Amino acid sequence: MAPYRPRGLELPAHKAVASAAPISTAPAPAVAVLALDQGSGRAARAVVAPGDRVRVGTRIAVTTGEATTPVHAPVAGRVLAIETRPMPSGDGPCVLIENDGSDDREREARPLAWAGLEPIALAAALGDAGVAGYGGAAFPAATKLAAARRHEAHHLVLNGAECEPWICCDDALMRTRAHDVVLGAQVLMHAMGAARCTVAIEDDKPEAMAALQAAVEAARDARIAIAGVSACYPAGAERTLLEAVTGIEVPHGAWPPESGLLCHNVGTAAAAAAVVRGEPVTSRIVTVTGSGVARPGNFEARLGTPVSTLVEACGGYTDRPLRLIAGGSMMGRALATDEVPVTLALNCVLVATADDLVERGPEHACIRCGDCADVCPPRLLPQQLLLGVIANDPETLERHGLADCIECGCCDYVCPSAIPLTARFRTARAEARVRESARRRADDLRERHARHVKRLDAASEAERRAFETARDHARGQGG
């Protein structure tokens, strides 16, 4: 088999300054703003009301389906309100908790005897504690673990290939808390029934690789291996990483568990380790970086902490920042305010000045150079997708694989015509999801109507037979 050669870009990392300092603890917020949607796109349901007193670890929101995650209070205090606030991905409902500074806990930490639990029970415990994807999607871990068990996936891949420029929270985690990552790997393997685990790390992170190798050796678990992958953006994209590590290409339209694989972020593994030690998910590590802050670094921040608090912990703003970005420079989204709170999906805050951003000229017509296709990680043809977007042609978009676009921004980066391809594909994907939702609803209504008609026909047939039986009986008695 030919060696796997990833497509993508070799980009300046911009990580040295932020990763040089140890992980710091961010100040607890005076008011924690807890998003009911922690980043998966679906909101949990609040189970507290204004005026209620909560403690650290109190469950304040419960799941409403497979794509939602329970939320636990990161501070002790009084619930001020449940209202809509700005979030990294748009406005959403939030629970506001006024911190009383006591840090009273809901209960003392109780380590979980996880090795003796059935996989289903262990996965449920992780889900109840709020473990979700730390890589940016915040998808509930329990749902992915259930899919892995259902398809008998045998190989867990932990994603430590932190490929996007500026972001280094996973690197800091692996260098300083490698034992947590290894323990979390063991927990996740048990919860899904996996026989092996590979921790994938980009080859430009030698300290992280050495720390994890030492942690694996200390654990004496031969099922866990460390694999280096090329430091090429976006090496950390799920399907790209799985193919690079295992040689298995996940088919279009399929989940990795259907190919025997499950991918979790190393931060998710560390969160699973904290849960089995008795702590629900109430915080995450966030990189705060860019030329717009005085002292970039990585911070252990409680969920609900405003970005402004993290900036203050970095020594404040330097010059007037040109842009505040949630995430890195390639896939991040601009923030309208620094009062946006930390969520499970927020791995980086980039306070960018003009020196940090690539200037793009005015947009021109596509010259069909093919550069975008050469770098596209999912091997799509962005120029053909662009034609489908311009023509508003869903069939063309589907035929050319719009659903497989990972919105990485590689095509934008190399386009000589400065066409905002990713933004247009993101909009088209959102429109496709709306159409698909409408189609499913129409199909559901059609099926419900068909079942209703079938019930009416059955009832009518029963009445006809009853009438004929009664008529025949009456004739028999009359004869």
Average pLDDT over residues 400-426: 94
Concatenating the DSSP letter of every residue in 351-400 gives EE-GGGS-------------HHHHH-TT---HHHHHHHHHTT-HHHHHHT
CA distance 289 to 29: 20
Confidence of residue 15 (pLDDT cuts 50, 70, 90): very high
Q: What are phi and psi of 288, to 5 degrees?
A: -120, 115
Q: State the Cα angle at 132 between 405 and 106, rounded to 5°.
A: 160
Confidence of residue 269 (pLDDT cuts 50, 70, 90): very high
pLDDT digits (tens, 9 = 90+) for 82-124: 999 999 878 999 999 999 999 999 888 789 999 999 999 999 9
Confidence of residue 475 (pLDDT cuts 50, 70, 90): confident
Report the pLDDT value the prediction gives residue 90, as an integer from 0 to 100. 83
pLDDT > 70 in the chain, percent = 98
Q: Which two tokens stand for residue 333?
A: 């989204």
For residue 165, is pLDDT > 50? yes
Report the pLDDT value the prediction gives residue 253, as an integer from 0 to 100. 81
Residues with Cβ within 8 Å of 226's Cβ and at least 6 positions away in sequence, in order, are 198, 199, 201, 209, 212, 213, 216
For residue 202, is pLDDT > 80? yes
CB-CB contact of 213 with 225 (8 Å): no
Confidence of residue 58 (pLDDT cuts 50, 70, 90): very high
pLDDT > 90 in the chain, percent = 85
pLDDT digits (tens, 9 = 90+) for 36-55: 999 888 899 999 999 999 99
Counted residue by residue, the chain has a size of: 479
Report the pLDDT value the prediction gives residue 3, as an integer from 0 to 100. 47
CATH 3.40.50.11540 residue ranges of the chain are 16-22+104-283
Confidence of residue 192 (pLDDT cuts 50, 70, 90): very high
Average pLDDT over residues 68-79: 96
Average pLDDT over residues 401-419: 94
Report the pLDDT value the prediction gives residue 2, as an integer from 0 to 100. 44
Report the pLDDT value the prediction gives residue 204, as an integer from 0 to 100. 93
CA distance 132 to 129: 9
pLDDT digits (tens, 9 = 90+) for 151-161: 999 999 999 99
Confidence of residue 472 (pLDDT cuts 50, 70, 90): confident
* 3-state class (DSSP) for residue 211: helix
For residue 319, is pLDDT > 90? no
Confidence of residue 21 (pLDDT cuts 50, 70, 90): confident
Average pLDDT over residues 272-297: 96
Count of alpha carbons within 13 angstroms of residue 362, beta-carbon side = 1
Report the pLDDT value the prediction gives residue 120, as an integer from 0 to 100. 96
Lowest mean pLDDT among 12-21, 49-58, 432-441: 432-441
Mean per-residue pLDDT of the chain: 93
* 3-state class (DSSP) for residue 441: helix
Residues with Cβ within 8 Å of 132's Cβ and at least 6 positions away in sequence, in order, are 38, 39, 40, 69, 138, 139, 140, 141, 268, 281, 344
The CATH number that domain 16-22+104-283 falls under is 3.40.50.11540
Confidence of residue 5 (pLDDT cuts 50, 70, 90): low
Average pLDDT over residues 456-463: 93
Report the pLDDT value the prediction gives residue 249, as an integer from 0 to 100. 92
